[in-house]
């Protein structure tokens, strides 16, 4: 393992950051030209891609079901039962401390209290949890809000502190990552003040709207104490946006359900090392070794993991914790406001394509060993971001070439004698993929059914409408904002962090 300085992004966008956008625009151009100019070749290309995409949907369904079954097992496990049994390193789960950073900016106080209540419900929170509320100094009324929260929760944890991140610090991009890095000052002070051993401490990034499962830290304590590679490890729970899922616009709910299944499948897939999302845990020693968070990036979750992988030449693992964290889906004051909020959120997430440029730069300059593992990771990050855009165009082009009576189909049929047979195959693929997607929706409805009094006829109408509007939903809440983000990267235009508006639900259920 190398011992050079922690790797930071420069905050400057270069040609390497344009790679995802360049590939996406190339696929768009080829899709249009293929359908119009070369339907014979493009119908086979689209069919191969559709086979790949349908395979991903089916695999996602399978492992989402496996993940859901594991949640049931993990929730029935008494994670504190053997908390005094020492692990291989000679200390027990009861000796593990947890440092939790809660970054917040303009979040409603009710939302923050809901999150802090979830932390206070953790096993021995008053003895082993150290909480730092990471606030932004520029937020109006932030001092009074901080004082109220500190007074309310000071006794709920072993240590409770508030950090105030100053605005406009040089070399920073305003956002969660910069705020988190500033909060590490208060975090290190807490560890020092309480005399906590950093080697027995975890660090958790907890979003302001995240309600962590009450068994989560008891489980992580046991996993941490009994893991020989604890200082090269992240821990991730499924993130389910159920706090307000039945209050958001139907298209947002629909796309959120698909997101749940995708993340659950990644966590359940054997041998796969997924990237962290939003609320996650890592070793304090690993965070210290790799320089904590980078203040020059927007999407901090993927980046901090990749930064650790670069620093340790790929030697970083991920352990799935099947105790779901509940969070808020994108919400607005009305239907169109909710759609705009979700679109901006997707664009912000898609701006994480800068991570592809980051890895390409590290590989080119040699600051990262060009191991098969790191090359594969760079390929995965590039693939995932390009797929956000490319899949919509490839699927739509395949659809146009398979629908009898459509002008594109009729034109292609005149020049491609074998098109009808391919069209039948494409139709079967669409049916197969549609069936898997329907099963994913049924799984979500079983896991989080509609609230009492929600009309069954309304639910059926919503699902039916969304089924026929899938291409439009994919365009507005998927492809378009992702392409917008990649275009910004190509033009070297920075994206500034925007907080997703939230409001607390009427009730809290952490089980």
CATH code for position 111: 3.90.550.10
- The rounded distance, in Å, linking the Cα atoms of 42 and 333 is 43
The segments of the chain whose pLDDT lies below 50 read 1-10, 405, 418, 506-511
pLDDT of residue 4: 36
Nearest to 209 by CA among 511, 509, 506, 500: 500
Within-domain flag for 376: yes
Within-domain flag for 223: yes
- The rounded distance, in Å, linking the Cα atoms of 345 and 313 is 31
Within-domain flag for 153: yes
pLDDT of residue 82: 87
pLDDT of residue 374: 87
Work out the end-to-end distance of the chain between its first and last CA atoms, rounded to an integer number of angstroms. Answer: 41
Within-domain flag for 384: yes
Q: Do 202 and 278 reside in the same domain of the chain?
A: yes
pLDDT of residue 503: 65
Q: Do 446 and 297 reside in the same domain of the chain?
A: no
Within-domain flag for 10: no
pLDDT of residue 7: 39
- The rounded distance, in Å, linking the Cα atoms of 448 and 441 is 11
Q: Do 157 and 306 reside in the same domain of the chain?
A: yes
Q: Which residue has the tokens 């669409």?
A: 430
Within-domain flag for 355: no
pLDDT of residue 421: 56
Q: Do 290 and 156 reside in the same domain of the chain?
A: yes
Q: How many domains does the chain have?
A: 2
Q: Do 304 and 176 reside in the same domain of the chain?
A: yes
- Residue 184's domain comprises 92-237+274-315
Q: Do 96 and 157 reside in the same domain of the chain?
A: yes
pLDDT of residue 367: 72
pLDDT of residue 511: 35
- The rounded distance, in Å, linking the Cα atoms of 188 and 234 is 19
């Amino acid at each position: 393992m190398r011992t050079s300085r922690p790797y930071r992004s420069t905050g400057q966008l270069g040609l390497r950051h344009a790679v995802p956008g360049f590939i996406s625009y190339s696929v768009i151009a080829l899709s249009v030209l293929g359908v119009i100019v070369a339907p014979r070749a493009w119908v086979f290309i689209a069919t191969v891609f559709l086979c790949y995409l349908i395979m991903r949907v089916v695999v996602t369904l399978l492992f989402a079901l496996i993940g859901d079954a594991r949640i049931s097992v993990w929730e029935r496990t008494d994670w504190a039962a053997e908390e005094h049994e020492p692990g291989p390193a000679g200390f027990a789960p009861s000796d593990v401390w947890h440092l939790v950073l809660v970054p917040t900016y303009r979040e409603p106080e009710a939302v923050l209290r809901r999150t802090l209540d979830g932390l206070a419900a953790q096993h021995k929170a008053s003895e082993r949890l150290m909480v730092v509320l990471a606030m932004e100094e520029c937020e109006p009324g932030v001092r009074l809000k901080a004082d109220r929260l500190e007074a309310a929760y000071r006794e709920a944890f072993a240590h409770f502190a508030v950090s105030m991140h100053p605005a406009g610090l040089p070399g920073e991009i305003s956002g969660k990552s910069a705020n988190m890095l500033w909060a590490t000052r208060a975090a290190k002070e807490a560890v020092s003040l309480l005399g906590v051993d950093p080697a027995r401490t975890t660090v958790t990034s907890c979003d302001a709207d995240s309600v962590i499962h009450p068994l989560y830290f008891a489980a992580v304590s046991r996993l941490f104490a009994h893991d020989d590679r604890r200082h090269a490890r992240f821990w991730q729970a499924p993130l389910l946006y159920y706090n307000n899922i039945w209050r958001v616009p139907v298209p947002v709910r629909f796309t959120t359900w698909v997101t749940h299944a995708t993340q659950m499948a990644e966590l359940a897939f054997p041998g796969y090392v997924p990237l962290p999302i939003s609320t996650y845990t890592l070793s304090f020693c690993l965070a210290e070794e790799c320089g904590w968070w980078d203040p020059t990036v927007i999407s901090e979750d993927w980046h901090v993991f990749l930064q650790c992988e670069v620093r340790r030449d790929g030697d970083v693992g991920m352990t799935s914790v099947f105790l779901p964290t509940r969070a808020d889906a994108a919400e607005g004051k009305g239907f169109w406001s909710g759609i705009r909020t979700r679109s901006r959120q997707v664009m912000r997430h898609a701006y994480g394509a800068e991570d592809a440029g980051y890895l390409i730069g590290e590989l080119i300059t040699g600051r990262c060993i060009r191991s098969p593992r790191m090359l594969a990771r760079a390929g995965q990050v590039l693939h995932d971001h390009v797929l956000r855009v490319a899949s919509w165009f490839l699927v739509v082009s395949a659809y146009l070439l398979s629908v009898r009576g459509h002008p594109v189909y009729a034109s292609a049929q005149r020049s491609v004698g074998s098109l009808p047979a391919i069209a039948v195959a494409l139709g079967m693929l669409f049916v197969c993929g549609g069936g898997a997607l329907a099963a994913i929706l049924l799984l979500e409805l079983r896991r989080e059914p509609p609230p009492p009094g929600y009309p069954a006829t309304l639910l059926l109408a919503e699902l039916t409408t969304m089924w026929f509007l899938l291409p439009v939903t994919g365009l507005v809440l998927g492809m378009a904002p992702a392409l917008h983000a990649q275009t910004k990267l190509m033009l070297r235009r920075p994206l500034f962090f925007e907080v997703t508006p939230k409001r607390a639900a009427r009730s809290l259920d952490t089980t």
